[in-house]
A and B are shown apart, each in its own frame.
Chain A
Amino acid sequence: MIPLWLIPLFPLVGVVVLTLIALASSESEKGPDEGLVGTISVIFPLLAFVSTAFIGWNMPAEGIHETLCNWIDTPLFQAHFGFLFDGLTRTMLLFVTGIATLITMYSTGYMHKDRGFAKFFAYINLFVFSMIVLVLSDSLLLTFLGWEGVGLCSYLLIGFWNKDLKNCKAANKAFLVNRVGDVGFLLGMAALVTVGGSSLLNYTDLIAWIVNPASAEMIVSALPLLTAAGLLFFWACTAKSAQVPLLTWLPDAMAGPTPVSALIHAATMVTAGVYLVARLSQLFVILPGVLPVIALVGMLTAFWAAVAGLLQNDIKKVLAYSTISQLGYMFMAAGASAFDVSIFHVFTHAFFKATLFLGAGAVMHALAGEQDMRKMGGLLKKTPITAITMLFAYLAIIGFPGFSGFFSKDLILERVFEFSPVLGPVLYGVGLLTAVITAVYMTRLMVLVFLGKYRGELRDDQIHEAPFSMTFPMIVLAIGSAFSGYLWNVFVSGANWFEQWLTPAVGYAQKMAHFMEKAPAFMPSALFFAALGTAAAIVGAAIGYKIFKNKRIPQLKKNADTTPVGGARDWTFFFDYIHNIVIKVFNFLALVTDMVIDKFVQILQWMVCSLVFIVGDGLRSLQVRKVRLQVALSIAGVAIIGIVVYLCGGLS
């Protein structure tokens, strides 16, 4: 059996090797050999994938738990480095490492001739390492290491082209918004530790503690604090997974290279929040009130972002809002205590969204970096492979029957409806409406990019299909987006392998949740939901095709901005406005600190100082160097204070 720590070790070695290469070649003009760097950077995620697959294949049903060594050992708090490999981890790790390998391969083509080639892959490997630690760790603290690690990599990669300060600002925003969430994570951990000691940060111990009847009384008495912890953890999730209200960073994060958007901001990192909720499912189900909050936040996000996606002109921004919206679906599912379904959607979404982003990257590659959809069109003939892979992913995301998104989205809507008599139908209705909007904006994207006439300025011979290193990962992922849904086919009994994998990790929590919930009075069959879902997809696609196929797109100026205008702008930047208020408040506080408080302290200080100087003036003529003056003054000061104390009758 392979030890678990090998999985994160591979990419870590990759980081070290690539960093050394990047540093060694940093002074040279030519840069390192791209073939060599490319091979190294693909091989380590691949090795991680292979070892995950191997361990996952031979894994016992209850999972593997390994404790490596002591990390923190103080009387206040103890923690270990430990890894936990169970059904949930296996699922997450398989697609994280698998997709990471494919996207790294894609990047070797995409980043061709970039000045920071080796640096880029060092960051990517660091990201893979952090992400593996995040999902493989057996305790919240170690998960937090990965959690901040992926945030850091996201920061580094968004600001990868750091000569442009706009990219840096986007990167800073991503890091800081995430940091606001991370503090929630920290405080949540602090709350848990105060309730039941540092062992509660360990997942297995936490579950054992909750399940143990002996601690029931303690849980009841500490319920407010536990609820606070649950909300704080969810707060961290809203930042990492771009939910209301901490979602503003994700659209800006599109400033990074497109493979980064595909890997970090669509397939893997942003789903960490969903993972955390599933991981802590046992905690969440016993907290009354937290799960509905999660479901409502998810619903709000899904709807808001879908509408925002409809308003964008930038192809990557459409996909970014689409990601936010799909993440909203996942949280809706998690909030309805269907944790396995939420992870199932994470899984299928990873495939089709990665395909879409890589396709967008290929389109941009073909059009010399153009991101404005109004300047695209008619690319079906010029880039057929891209078009067809994107078509697969498109059908998956709108939930067309038979494609992966259909299965997962259908399950989400079904479970959400069951959730509760009142909230359930509301969530279901908004979810279905969002599905229609999703189909509309995705159809809009496909129509604007691939159909009609080309509206840009490039000559025909300048537009070319991407190289094999880019198309190959796209094809693999497109196959995944078509078929990954069959792992949990509700219509065929027994074809629910995905559910079975996750049962050891989340099954208990879900059973408990079912036990506590009331079933709704009216419960239609699975086929009814499927039919409505299909109808939503087809109606949305038809509307989108009808509107945008024949819509005349006005000629654009050369450097026209892609930002939407008017009401669309307000809708898109609604949460940015709110964030700006908070930022302004803090800037104002800093201003007051600097201009008022600090100046006041300085004035006070100089007043005291000038008094000393007046006293010291008499001595100055005797002194040559200033340092001696100070020494003399200090002696004088001591003497004066001493005499005063004496004259006042001493200290007693």
Chain B
Amino acid sequence: MLYALVFAPFLAALLMVAASGKDARSASRLATILAATLFCGSLTLLLAGDYNTTPMEWFTIPGAGISVTLSFAVNGFSAWMVFLACIITLAALVSARKTMGGNYRNFAIGMFALLGALNGTFLASDAVLFFFFFEALVLPAAILIGSYGGQERREAALNFALYTLIGSAPMAVALWYLISIAGSSYVLPVAQAAQSLPESTQTILFWCFAAAFWVKTPLFPLHGWQAQTYAEAPAGLSAVLTGSMSKAGVYGFYFWVIAIFPEVAFKNGMLLLGFGLLTAVYGAFMAMRAKDIKKLLAFSSMGHLGLAVAGIFTLNVEVFPAVLVMLVGHGLSASALFILAGSAERFAGHRFLDKMGGFASRYPMFGFFFGVASVLAIAIPGTAGFVGEFLVLLGLWGVSKVAAVVAGLCIILTGVYMLRLIQKVLFGEPGEISEDQKKLRFPIADAVATAPLLILLIVFGVFPLPITSSLDYTRVSEDQQAELEAAIEAASQPAAVAEMSKQYSAEAPVADSAVAEPAVADSVAAEPVSADTAAVEAKAVTEAEQKAVAETATAEQDVKQVEAENVR
């Protein structure tokens, strides 16, 4: 199933190539069916619980003797992230039906490629594989923005691509360094290798990793790409970007940064928590002043994700389920709002809040959906957003009272800018409009696309148990902590490697399935950590270049396919 979820979207993209480019209706039908199938696939992940695939030797990087495995794993967190990615892609594809017109097929190809990359990012349990997908996110997104975005789409696409690619460059180096020590890029050996290093090195590597996710989330001050990108991207893509791709950053912090560098993360937790809160306040202030409807939503997303990162860096296993609820809630509400903002943009012909108004009386249906979506985004009790925000607030209160008060301030400010949004878009006297715009009606497709998101938001608000229970590792958390420390001590003794890997598989949120266990142990035991680190380092640098080239070559192929379609 995991293989299917990662590779099927790419297959779907290929199938879409075969679809007719002219007939948007048949293309949209095909795309909807494919996306719905993928969505059903993501549901099975939620039902199945944690498990992982048998790590399979994929290839060995020549010269360095580093084995890259083809392995995927699902935990509670990633299962919900995949769920979000699939449902939002489905919603985006449904809503784009009317609006993309003849470009629908190419749009769908891009969206499927993006979905595949997203699923790969969330499911990969091999560092190189993860990095590959993490980078691959950028390309379809940038191409879609560049092709179908608003007026400043070129700048936005360039800005976005540059920012995120440069942001993850340090991670590439750090990653290479780590896997060259570990001799394998599977997550467990990598984590072992990292923890066997001296602390100063670990700190450098930690920040290299953090930088990539810092940009992706984004956190202040590396957020420069975000508002412009979200604003210029077509509505459906903005929905996926904010609803799912931004979560890749938070997921990275959770699954990679904290799992690989637990000690350093504990040392720097307060700092990152502070930056998370700073981002939350910053996003709220910027949203208060935003003049562009989609920029307002973009800053609002930034604020919420800042709060989520702050929640992650309470580094309290008890808070993680809360963060997950918050992320799911935000993903659902923000993407619904972005899709509806696309409609608002069409009604008004522009994105300026000050020149909108009166849509509630002119388009009552739209008024209803937009009103409900934005009210739910304020996170009133009974929505998933509330459960998340309240629990995160509680978690922050446990860490520091000041942090909780700041989070409370953000909750107030959320109300301020969301009400401003409602007032500017929906209320007031409808102004004069041109004949063309009079003919516009609220597309049923948008209603169909957003309604399930909104309903789920309420369902998870009343019954968040499916989300919270999927991430409940606390019952054994203290034992894990002890195991972890024992493992760090034992890291230098090759004899303990097999034992160690068992402990790790309990520590990292990877299930200890009976099949995977011996396989991992074998792979680790077979490749003992090289003593001659200097030699490995030297190789590491040269190989890093080779690998990057190899990776981008693969990515390029994808790009070329999509580009070729675009040109046509």
Name the interface residues of A583-602: CB closer than 8 Å to any CB of B.
586-587, 589-591, 593-594, 597-598, 601-602
Q: Which residues of A contact B365 (CB under 8 A)?
A: 23, 26-27
**Min distance, Cβ B6 to any Cβ of chain A, angstroms:** 22
A159 close to B (CB within 8 Å): yes
Name the interface residues of B490-542: CB closer than 8 Å to any CB of A.
533-534, 537-538, 541
Which of B88-96, B285-293, B340-348 lies on the face that meets chain A? B285-293
**Min distance, Cβ B48 to any Cβ of chain A, angstroms:** 21
Partner of A590, one of B285, B380, B548, B559: B285
Are B465 and A23 in contact, with the CB atoms below 8 A?
Answer: no
A609 close to B (CB within 8 Å): yes
Are B534 and A650 in contact, with the CB atoms below 8 A?
Answer: yes
Are A73 and B469 in contact, with the CB atoms below 8 A?
Answer: yes
Q: Which residues of B contact A368 (CB under 8 A)?
A: none
Q: Which residues of B contact A591 (CB under 8 A)?
A: 289
Partner of A638, one of B205, B316, B469, B544: B544
Partner of A76, one of B395, B415, B426: B395
Are A190 and B394 in contact, with the CB atoms below 8 A?
Answer: yes
Q: Which residues of B contact A631 (CB under 8 A)?
A: 139, 165, 552, 555-556, 559
Are B548 and A638 in contact, with the CB atoms below 8 A?
Answer: yes
Name the interface residues of B448-485: CB closer than 8 Å to any CB of A.
462-465, 468-469, 472, 474-475
Q: Which residues of A contact B380 (CB under 8 A)?
A: 148-149, 152
CA distance A147 to B386 in the complex (A): 13
Partner of A145, one of B139, B173, B382, B555: B382
A526 close to B (CB within 8 Å): no
Number of interface residues of B (CB under 8 A): 97
A142 to chain B: closest residue by CB? B381
Which of B53-61, B155-163, B185-193, B242-250 lies on the face that meets chain A? B155-163
Are A162 and B360 in contact, with the CB atoms below 8 A?
Answer: yes
CA distance A598 to B361 in the complex (A): 36
Partner of B393, one of A145, A180, A190, A637: A190
A354 close to B (CB within 8 Å): no
B143 close to A (CB within 8 Å): yes
Are A627 and B318 in contact, with the CB atoms below 8 A?
Answer: no
A581 close to B (CB within 8 Å): no
Are A627 and B142 in contact, with the CB atoms below 8 A?
Answer: yes
B80 close to A (CB within 8 Å): no
**Min distance, Cβ B21 to any Cβ of chain A, angstroms:** 20
Question: Given A163-B428, A168-B423, A186-B390, is A627 in contact with B146 using a C-beta cutoff of 8 Å?
Answer: yes
Q: Which residues of B contact A74 (CB under 8 A)?
A: 318, 321-322, 391, 468, 472
CA distance A318 to B563 in the complex (A): 69
Partner of B173, one of A159, A187, A628, A641: A641
Interface hub of B146, B419, B533 (most chain A Cβ within 10 A): B419
Which of B117-125, B233-241, B256-264, B403-411 lies on the face that meets chain A? B403-411
Are B285 and A589 in contact, with the CB atoms below 8 A?
Answer: yes
**Min distance, Cβ A159 to any Cβ of chain B, angstroms:** 7
Are B548 and A194 in contact, with the CB atoms below 8 A?
Answer: no
Are B394 and A193 in contact, with the CB atoms below 8 A?
Answer: yes
B372 to chain A: closest residue by CB? A19
A146 to chain B: closest residue by CB? B381
CA distance A587 to B285 in the complex (A): 8
The prevalent SS among residues of B at the interface is helix
Question: Given A183-B412, A650-B534, is A149 in contact with B382 using a C-beta cutoff of 8 Å?
Answer: yes
Partner of B161, one of A145, A627, A650: A627
Question: Given A75-B472, A149-B380, A630-B162, is A639 in contact with B545 using a C-beta cutoff of 8 Å?
Answer: yes
Q: Which residues of B contact A193 (CB under 8 A)?
A: 394, 397
Name the interface residues of B189-244: CB closer than 8 Å to any CB of A.
197-198, 201, 204-205, 220-221, 223-224
A633 close to B (CB within 8 Å): yes
CA distance A651 to B317 in the complex (A): 31
Q: Which residues of A contact B537 (CB under 8 A)?
A: 646, 650-652
Are A612 and B162 in contact, with the CB atoms below 8 A?
Answer: yes
Are A190 and B427 in contact, with the CB atoms below 8 A?
Answer: no
Q: Which residues of A contact B409 (CB under 8 A)?
A: 183
Partner of B289, one of A141, A594, A651: A594
A77 close to B (CB within 8 Å): yes
A550 close to B (CB within 8 Å): no
CA distance A163 to B431 in the complex (A): 11
CA distance A75 to B465 in the complex (A): 12
B154 close to A (CB within 8 Å): yes
Are B428 and A642 in contact, with the CB atoms below 8 A?
Answer: no
Q: Which residues of A contact B548 (CB under 8 A)?
A: 635, 638-639
Which of A171-179, A416-424, A532-540 lies on the face that meets chain B? A171-179
Given contacts A594-B289, A626-B146, A631-B556, 18 further A-B contacts (CB under 8 A): A23-B368, A71-B463, A75-B321, A76-B316, A149-B380, A155-B419, A189-B394, A587-B288, A590-B289, A594-B285, A625-B563, A628-B556, A642-B176, A643-B541, A651-B177, A652-B198, A652-B533, A652-B537
By a beta-carbon cutoff of 8 Å, the part of chain B in contact with chain A is 139, 142-143, 146, 154, 157-159, 161-163, 165-166, 169-170, 172-174, 176-177, 197-198, 201, 204-205, 220-221, 223-224, 282, 285-286, 288-289, 316-319, 321-322, 358, 360-361, 364-365, 368, 375, 380-382, 387, 390-391, 393-395, 397-398, 404-405, 408-409, 411-413, 415-416, 419-420, 423, 426-429, 462-465, 468-469, 472, 474-475, 533-534, 537-538, 541, 544-545, 548-549, 552, 555-556, 559, 563
By a beta-carbon cutoff of 8 Å, the part of chain A in contact with chain B is 23, 26-27, 70-77, 141, 144-145, 147-149, 152, 155, 159, 162-165, 168-169, 172, 175-176, 179-180, 183, 186-187, 189-191, 193-194, 586-587, 589-591, 593-594, 597-598, 601-602, 604-605, 609, 612, 625-628, 630-631, 633-635, 637-639, 641-643, 645-646, 650-652
In the complex, 15 of the A-B residue pairs with CB atoms within 8 angstroms, ordered by the A residue number, are A74-B321, A75-B472, A75-B475, A76-B321, A77-B391, A145-B382, A190-B404, A594-B285, A601-B221, A612-B162, A628-B556, A637-B166, A645-B173, A651-B174, A652-B197
